[in-house]
Amino acid sequence: MRAYDPTSGEIWFDDCKLGRVNVATLDKQQLRQIRMNMQMVFQDPYSSLNPRMTLLQIVGEPLLVNKVARGSELQDRVAELLKVVGLRPEYMQRYPHAFSGGQRQRIGLARALALNPQLVVCDEPVSALDVSVQAQSLNLLQDLQSEFHLTYLFVSHDLSVVEHISDRVVVMYVGKTGGTCSHGRALLQAQASLYRGSALCGPQT
pLDDT in tens, the chain (205 residues): 888 888 888 999 999 888 999 999 999 999 989 999 999 999 988 899 999 999 999 999 999 999 999 999 999 999 999 999 999 999 999 999 999 999 999 999 999 999 999 999 999 999 888 888 888 999 999 999 999 999 999 998 887 888 888 888 887 777 777 667 775 555 556 555 654 544 333 333 3
How far, in whole angstroms, is CA 71 from its chain's centroid?
27
Domain boundaries, the chain: 36-160, 167-205
For 43, 88, 127, 161, 201, the CA distances from 155, given in Å and listed in that order, are 9, 29, 10, 10, 24
Run of H or E residues at 145: helix 131-148
Residue 191: its pLDDT value, please? 58
CATH number for the domain whose boundaries are 36-160: 3.40.50.300
